Amino acid sequence: MDRVIPPESRRDERSSSNEKEKKEKMAIKTVGVIRMGTLGTQIAIQAAYHSYRVRGYGQDLHIFQKTVQSTKDMMKLLGAHPTMGADEWEEEAAKVELADDLAEAVKDGDFIIEALSSS
């Protein structure tokens, strides 16, 4: 005997399938971080640590390297590291792709963050 599915149930099945498809399409894979100062650097490294591809932009990309090193030094000095150790910090920083062109940094970004201090 064939099972008859009421029209309401068929609609629920379709909407459930569509929602799943939308979530898969909207999955964040690449994060763009604009401004790679203290805040932007930390956001970028945390995103890399959580397996996102990260592209960063800043007017002076040397600040990124300085922030990476000073934060690593502080972690070693204090013996504190909330989410990762100092060596991991440096490994994750190496995964961040830096760009000196804003358009290049946000190209193909699924989620863009502008990291500004509020001072």
User: In order of start, what are the domains of the chain with their CATH numbers?
Assistant: 30-114 (3.40.50.720)
Question: In the prediction, which pLDDT does 6 show?
Answer: 59
Confidence tier at 39 by pLDDT (50, 70, 90): very high
Mean of the pLDDT values across residues 14-28? 68
Q: In terms of C-beta distances under 8 Å and separation of at least 24 residues, what long-range contacts does 5-9 make, across chains too?
A: none
Say how far apart CA 28 and CA 71 lie, in whole Å.
27
| Phi, psi of 94, rounded to the nearest 5 degrees | -65, -20
Mean of the pLDDT values across residues 19-25? 65
Residue found by looking up tokens 């898969």 in the block: 24
Q: Which two tokens stand for residue 101?
A: 């062109």
Question: In the prediction, which pLDDT does 11 show?
Answer: 54
Whether the predicted pLDDT of 67 surpasses 60: yes
Quick check: pTM over 0.85? Answer: no
Q: Which two tokens stand for residue 73?
A: 């030094």
Mean of the pLDDT values across residues 15-21? 67
Say how far apart CA 114 and CA 75 lie, in whole Å.
25
